[in-house]
C-alpha cells in the first residue's frame, strides 16, 4: 500500500467512479457479447488478460472485434437492460449534496455510459466509442480509455479542469485498470474488487450496495489520513 500524504486542511472536491460493475450491475462488454452470441469467446479473452497473456489494449480490441456485425438496435436493447448497481443513485445524490463534482471514467462504451451518466446526473463522463456503419457495429473501438494507463491520464486532466489536485480526490472502482488512478488519488475505495486492486485501496467494500460508501465518506477525515488506512467493509 502506497502512503498518500494528504494535507489536513484539504477537502475532497472531486469523486471519480468506474462504470462497469461499479455504478452498474454488469460488464457492458459481456452484455454485448451475449447479444452477439459470443459470450464464451469473450470470456476466453478476458481470462487470457487476467493471466497476463494480453494487456488491456489487446484484450479490449480482441473482444470488441467479436462484436462486428451486431446491429446497433440490438446492442442498444442489450445495454438498456443493464441495471444500476444497488445504492448508486443514493450515493451520487449524497456526494452531490456534499458539494462534490462527479465524474465517471470508463473503459466501457458511450452506448451505455451516456445513459448511465444522464440517469445519475454525473457531471463529467468519459468512455470509449464503438464504431458504427450502416446501423451495424464495425468491431472497432476508439476513445480516451483504451490503454492500461489511460484512466490516470484522463483523471489528471479532469483534476486540472476542476482546479484540484489528484490527492484531493476520491476514486471508486473495481478493476485492474483502476489501479493507476488508485495510486495517485487522495482516497481510493475498492468496490467488490478484483484481487489485484485490493492492495491499492484505502477501503475495500465487499457488500454489493454502493450505499456502503456513504459512511466511509462521512467518516473520512484528513486529520487522520496522513497515510493510507486499509479497511474491509463486509456488511452494510
Q: What are the residue numbers of the active site?
A: 18, 20
The string of DSSP codes covering 99-160 is T-EEEEEEEEEHHHHHHHHHHHT-SEEEEEEEEEETTEEEEEEESS--STTHHHHHHHHHHH
Q: Which three cell numbers stand for residue 187?
A: 482516497
Nearest to 208 by CA among 187, 229, 230, 193: 193
Q: Which three cell numbers stand for residue 25?
A: 450491475
Matching residue, cell 456502503 = 212
Q: Which three cell numbers stand for residue 140?
A: 472497432
What region, left, alpha or beta, does residue 134 occupy, with left being phi > 0 and alpha being psi -120 to 50 degrees? left
CA atoms within 13 A on the CB side of 7: 7
Amino acid at each position: 500500500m502506497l502512503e498518500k500524504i494528504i494535507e489536513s486542511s484539504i477537502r475532497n472536491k472531486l469523486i471519480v467512479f468506474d462504470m462497469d460493475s461499479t455504478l452498474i450491475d454488469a460488464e457492458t462488454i459481456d452484455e454485448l457479447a451475449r447479444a452477439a452470441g459470443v459470450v464464451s469467446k469473450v470470456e476466453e479473452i478476458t481470462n487470457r488478460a487476467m493471466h497476463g497473456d494480453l494487456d488491456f489494449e489487446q484484450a479490449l480490441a480482441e473482444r470488441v472485434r467479436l462484436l462486428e456485425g451486431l446491429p446497433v438496435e440490438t446492442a442498444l436493447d442489450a445495454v438498456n437492460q443493464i441495471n444500476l448497481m444497488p445504492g448508486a443513485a443514493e450515493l451520487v445524490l449524497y456526494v452531490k449534496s456534499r458539494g462534490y463534482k462527479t465524474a465517471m471514467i470508463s473503459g466501457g462504451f458511450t452506448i451505455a455510459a451516456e445513459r448511465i451518466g444522464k440517469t445519475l446526473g454525473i457531471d463529467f463522463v468519459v468512455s470509449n466509442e464503438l464504431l458504427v456503419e450502416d446501423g451495424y457495429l464495425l468491431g472497432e473501438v476508439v476513445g480516451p480509455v483504451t490503454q492500461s494507463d489511460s484512466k490516470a491520464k484522463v483523471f489528471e486532466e479532469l483534476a486540472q479542469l476542476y482546479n484540484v489536485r489528484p490527492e484531493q480526490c476520491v476514486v471508486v472502482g473495481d478493476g485492474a485498470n483502476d489501479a493507476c488512478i488508485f495510486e495517485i488519488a487522495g482516497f481510493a475505495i475498492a468496490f467488490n474488487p478484483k484481487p489485484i486492486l485490493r492492495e491499492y485501496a484505502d477501503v475495500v467494500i465487499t457488500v454489493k450496495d454502493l450505499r456502503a460508501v456513504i459512511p466511509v465518506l462521512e467518516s473520512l477525515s484528513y486529520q487522520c489520513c496522513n497515510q493510507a488506512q486499509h479497511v474491509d467493509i463486509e456488511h452494510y
